[in-house]
Amino acid sequence: MSTLLSFDNVTSYYGATPILRDFSFEMEKGQCLCVLGRNGVGKTTLMRTIMGLTDRSSGAIRINGVELSGQATHVRAKQGLGYVPQGRGILSNFTVRENILLGTFARADRSGDIPEICLRIFPYLKENLDRRAGLLSGGQKQQLAIARALAVDPQILLLDEPTEGIQPNIVHEIGEILMMLNREFGISLIVTEQHIKVARKLGDAFLMVDNGRVVARGPMPEMTDELIERHMTI
Protein backbone atom coordinates (compact mmCIF):
# COMPACT_ATOMS: atom_id res chain seq x y z
CA MET A 1 0.00 0.00 0.00
CA SER A 2 1.20 3.53 -0.74
CA THR A 3 1.28 6.41 1.74
CA LEU A 4 -1.57 8.83 1.03
CA LEU A 5 -1.27 11.32 3.89
CA SER A 6 1.65 11.97 6.21
CA PHE A 7 2.29 14.23 9.20
CA ASP A 8 5.92 14.76 10.16
CA ASN A 9 6.50 16.51 13.52
CA VAL A 10 3.54 18.84 13.09
CA THR A 11 2.81 21.40 15.79
CA SER A 12 -0.43 23.36 15.31
CA TYR A 13 -1.43 26.56 17.08
CA TYR A 14 -4.40 28.67 18.06
CA GLY A 15 -2.82 32.03 18.78
CA ALA A 16 0.45 31.37 20.60
CA THR A 17 -0.82 28.12 22.14
CA PRO A 18 0.26 24.79 20.61
CA ILE A 19 -2.66 22.34 20.57
CA LEU A 20 -1.01 19.53 18.58
CA ARG A 21 2.62 18.89 19.50
CA ASP A 22 5.19 17.00 17.38
CA PHE A 23 2.37 15.07 15.77
CA SER A 24 3.48 12.33 13.34
CA PHE A 25 1.62 9.56 11.52
CA GLU A 26 1.12 8.06 8.08
CA MET A 27 -2.07 6.91 6.42
CA GLU A 28 -2.26 4.44 3.56
CA LYS A 29 -4.46 4.79 0.49
CA GLY A 30 -7.84 3.10 0.96
CA GLN A 31 -7.54 3.03 4.74
CA CYS A 32 -10.13 4.02 7.34
CA LEU A 33 -8.23 5.61 10.22
CA CYS A 34 -10.16 6.21 13.47
CA VAL A 35 -8.83 8.95 15.74
CA LEU A 36 -9.77 8.43 19.39
CA GLY A 37 -9.26 10.18 22.71
CA ARG A 38 -11.10 12.13 25.38
CA ASN A 39 -12.80 15.44 24.64
CA GLY A 40 -10.39 18.35 24.33
CA VAL A 41 -7.22 16.37 23.53
CA GLY A 42 -6.78 17.72 19.97
CA LYS A 43 -8.88 15.49 17.68
CA THR A 44 -10.81 18.37 16.10
CA THR A 45 -7.59 20.40 15.87
CA LEU A 46 -6.04 17.53 13.89
CA MET A 47 -8.87 17.74 11.34
CA ARG A 48 -8.64 21.53 11.17
CA THR A 49 -4.85 21.33 10.78
CA ILE A 50 -5.20 19.00 7.79
CA MET A 51 -7.60 21.52 6.23
CA GLY A 52 -5.43 24.55 7.09
CA LEU A 53 -7.97 26.03 9.51
CA THR A 54 -5.77 26.64 12.56
CA ASP A 55 -3.84 29.89 13.04
CA ARG A 56 -0.55 28.31 11.97
CA SER A 57 1.37 25.06 12.00
CA SER A 58 4.97 23.89 11.67
CA GLY A 59 6.30 20.58 10.37
CA ALA A 60 5.39 18.79 7.13
CA ILE A 61 1.92 17.70 5.96
CA ARG A 62 1.86 15.84 2.65
CA ILE A 63 -0.83 14.25 0.50
CA ASN A 64 0.54 11.93 -2.19
CA GLY A 65 3.93 13.48 -1.49
CA VAL A 66 2.67 17.04 -2.20
CA GLU A 67 3.45 19.49 0.62
CA LEU A 68 0.28 21.11 1.99
CA SER A 69 1.84 23.33 4.66
CA GLY A 70 1.17 26.98 3.91
CA GLN A 71 -1.52 26.14 1.33
CA ALA A 72 -4.96 27.77 1.62
CA THR A 73 -7.94 25.59 2.53
CA HIS A 74 -9.49 25.68 -0.97
CA VAL A 75 -6.14 24.58 -2.48
CA ARG A 76 -6.03 21.64 -0.04
CA ALA A 77 -9.59 20.69 -0.99
CA LYS A 78 -8.51 20.51 -4.64
CA GLN A 79 -5.79 18.04 -3.60
CA GLY A 80 -8.66 15.73 -2.67
CA LEU A 81 -9.81 16.57 0.87
CA GLY A 82 -13.49 16.53 1.81
CA TYR A 83 -14.40 17.75 5.32
CA VAL A 84 -17.44 17.08 7.50
CA PRO A 85 -16.89 19.33 10.55
CA GLN A 86 -18.19 18.74 14.05
CA GLY A 87 -21.63 20.35 14.18
CA ARG A 88 -21.96 19.70 10.41
CA GLY A 89 -21.77 23.34 9.23
CA ILE A 90 -24.99 23.11 7.20
CA LEU A 91 -26.36 26.42 5.87
CA SER A 92 -29.93 26.29 7.18
CA ASN A 93 -31.40 28.92 4.83
CA PHE A 94 -29.98 27.19 1.74
CA THR A 95 -31.74 24.28 0.07
CA VAL A 96 -30.37 20.74 0.09
CA ARG A 97 -29.30 21.28 -3.53
CA GLU A 98 -27.49 24.54 -2.75
CA ASN A 99 -25.64 22.99 0.20
CA ILE A 100 -24.39 20.09 -1.92
CA LEU A 101 -23.38 22.39 -4.79
CA LEU A 102 -21.12 24.33 -2.41
CA GLY A 103 -18.89 21.25 -2.37
CA THR A 104 -18.49 21.28 -6.15
CA PHE A 105 -16.60 24.60 -6.07
CA ALA A 106 -13.47 22.75 -4.89
CA ARG A 107 -13.64 20.00 -7.52
CA ALA A 108 -10.57 19.73 -9.73
CA ASP A 109 -12.81 19.27 -12.80
CA ARG A 110 -14.91 22.36 -11.88
CA SER A 111 -18.11 20.45 -12.60
CA GLY A 112 -21.11 22.40 -11.35
CA ASP A 113 -23.48 19.43 -11.20
CA ILE A 114 -24.42 17.36 -8.17
CA PRO A 115 -22.30 14.19 -8.47
CA GLU A 116 -24.26 10.98 -9.01
CA ILE A 117 -22.67 9.37 -5.93
CA CYS A 118 -24.43 11.89 -3.64
CA LEU A 119 -27.86 11.09 -5.05
CA ARG A 120 -27.25 7.34 -5.21
CA ILE A 121 -26.15 6.99 -1.59
CA PHE A 122 -28.69 9.41 -0.11
CA PRO A 123 -32.11 8.81 -1.73
CA TYR A 124 -33.84 11.06 0.82
CA LEU A 125 -31.70 14.01 -0.31
CA LYS A 126 -32.37 13.18 -3.97
CA GLU A 127 -36.12 13.41 -3.28
CA ASN A 128 -35.82 16.64 -1.29
CA LEU A 129 -33.30 18.75 -3.22
CA ASP A 130 -35.45 21.88 -2.95
CA ARG A 131 -36.23 21.50 0.76
CA ARG A 132 -34.67 24.08 3.07
CA ALA A 133 -31.79 22.42 4.94
CA GLY A 134 -32.87 23.91 8.28
CA LEU A 135 -35.99 21.72 8.19
CA LEU A 136 -34.02 18.45 8.14
CA SER A 137 -33.56 16.19 11.16
CA GLY A 138 -30.13 15.77 12.76
CA GLY A 139 -29.47 12.52 10.89
CA GLN A 140 -30.60 14.03 7.58
CA LYS A 141 -28.32 17.04 8.14
CA GLN A 142 -25.42 14.66 8.71
CA GLN A 143 -26.26 12.92 5.44
CA LEU A 144 -26.26 16.34 3.76
CA ALA A 145 -22.89 17.26 5.29
CA ILE A 146 -21.39 14.00 3.98
CA ALA A 147 -22.97 14.56 0.53
CA ARG A 148 -21.51 18.08 0.38
CA ALA A 149 -18.04 16.72 1.25
CA LEU A 150 -18.43 13.97 -1.39
CA ALA A 151 -19.22 16.64 -4.00
CA VAL A 152 -15.56 17.69 -3.70
CA ASP A 153 -14.64 14.29 -5.24
CA PRO A 154 -12.31 13.56 -2.32
CA GLN A 155 -9.47 11.07 -2.02
CA ILE A 156 -9.77 11.47 1.76
CA LEU A 157 -12.98 12.19 3.64
CA LEU A 158 -12.43 13.79 7.07
CA LEU A 159 -15.34 13.27 9.48
CA ASP A 160 -15.27 14.93 12.89
CA GLU A 161 -17.58 13.07 15.33
CA PRO A 162 -20.04 11.98 12.60
CA THR A 163 -22.29 10.09 15.05
CA GLU A 164 -22.43 12.82 17.73
CA GLY A 165 -25.96 13.77 18.80
CA ILE A 166 -27.62 11.27 16.46
CA GLN A 167 -30.22 8.63 17.41
CA PRO A 168 -28.81 5.09 17.81
CA ASN A 169 -30.63 3.69 14.73
CA ILE A 170 -29.21 6.53 12.60
CA VAL A 171 -25.71 5.96 14.06
CA HIS A 172 -25.84 2.44 12.57
CA GLU A 173 -27.03 3.84 9.22
CA ILE A 174 -24.24 6.46 9.08
CA GLY A 175 -21.70 3.73 9.94
CA GLU A 176 -22.98 1.56 7.08
CA ILE A 177 -22.75 4.50 4.64
CA LEU A 178 -19.16 5.24 5.69
CA MET A 179 -18.18 1.58 5.30
CA MET A 180 -19.68 1.60 1.80
CA LEU A 181 -17.79 4.76 0.82
CA ASN A 182 -14.54 3.23 2.06
CA ARG A 183 -14.88 -0.37 0.88
CA GLU A 184 -16.94 -0.04 -2.30
CA PHE A 185 -15.93 3.39 -3.56
CA GLY A 186 -12.33 3.28 -2.28
CA ILE A 187 -12.47 6.64 -0.48
CA SER A 188 -9.98 6.85 2.39
CA LEU A 189 -11.51 8.01 5.69
CA ILE A 190 -10.23 9.77 8.78
CA VAL A 191 -12.91 9.64 11.48
CA THR A 192 -12.78 11.10 14.98
CA GLU A 193 -15.11 9.00 17.09
CA GLN A 194 -16.25 8.60 20.70
CA HIS A 195 -18.15 5.36 20.12
CA ILE A 196 -15.62 2.54 20.55
CA LYS A 197 -18.00 0.03 18.98
CA VAL A 198 -18.40 2.19 15.83
CA ALA A 199 -14.64 2.74 15.60
CA ARG A 200 -13.85 -0.97 15.90
CA LYS A 201 -16.38 -1.88 13.22
CA LEU A 202 -15.39 0.90 10.83
CA GLY A 203 -11.64 1.31 11.19
CA ASP A 204 -8.67 -0.55 9.73
CA ALA A 205 -6.29 1.41 11.95
CA PHE A 206 -6.44 3.71 14.96
CA LEU A 207 -4.65 6.75 16.29
CA MET A 208 -4.98 7.43 20.03
CA VAL A 209 -4.49 11.07 21.01
CA ASP A 210 -3.86 12.52 24.46
CA ASN A 211 -2.83 16.06 25.34
CA GLY A 212 -2.15 16.97 21.71
CA ARG A 213 0.19 14.04 21.05
CA VAL A 214 -0.04 10.61 19.44
CA VAL A 215 0.17 8.15 22.34
CA ALA A 216 -0.64 4.93 20.44
CA ARG A 217 -1.36 3.84 16.88
CA GLY A 218 -1.61 0.66 14.88
CA PRO A 219 -4.01 -1.79 13.22
CA MET A 220 -7.48 -1.79 14.83
CA PRO A 221 -7.04 -5.25 16.47
CA GLU A 222 -4.19 -3.72 18.52
CA MET A 223 -6.55 -1.19 20.15
CA THR A 224 -6.83 -2.99 23.47
CA ASP A 225 -9.26 -2.41 26.32
CA GLU A 226 -6.27 -1.33 28.41
CA LEU A 227 -5.44 1.46 25.92
CA ILE A 228 -9.06 2.58 25.92
CA GLU A 229 -9.17 2.56 29.71
CA ARG A 230 -5.98 4.61 29.94
CA HIS A 231 -6.73 7.24 27.32
CA MET A 232 -10.52 7.43 26.99
CA THR A 233 -12.16 6.88 30.37
CA ILE A 234 -12.72 9.97 32.48
76-92: per-residue pLDDT in tens? 998 999 999 988 889 99
Report pTM: 0.93
CATH class of 3-232: alpha beta
d(CA 22, CA 183): 31
Question: Higher model confidence: residue 16 or residue 168?
Answer: 16
Which residues contact residue 86 at a Cβ distance below 8 angstroms, ignoring those fewer than 6 apart? Answer: 44, 160, 161, 164, 192
> What is the helix, strand, coil percentage profile of the chain, to 5?
35, 30, 35
111, pLDDT greater than 80: no
Task: Give the model's confidence band at 148: pLDDT under 50 very low, under 70 low, under 90 confident, else very high.
Answer: very high
117-137: per-residue pLDDT in tens? 999 999 999 999 999 999 999
User: What's the longest Cα–Cα distance across the chain?
Assistant: 49
Mean pLDDT over all residues of the chain?
93
In this structure, the number of other CB atoms found within 10 A of the CB of residue 195 comes to 18
175, pLDDT greater than 70: yes
**141 and 186 in contact (C-beta within 8 Å)?**
no
28, pLDDT greater than 90: yes
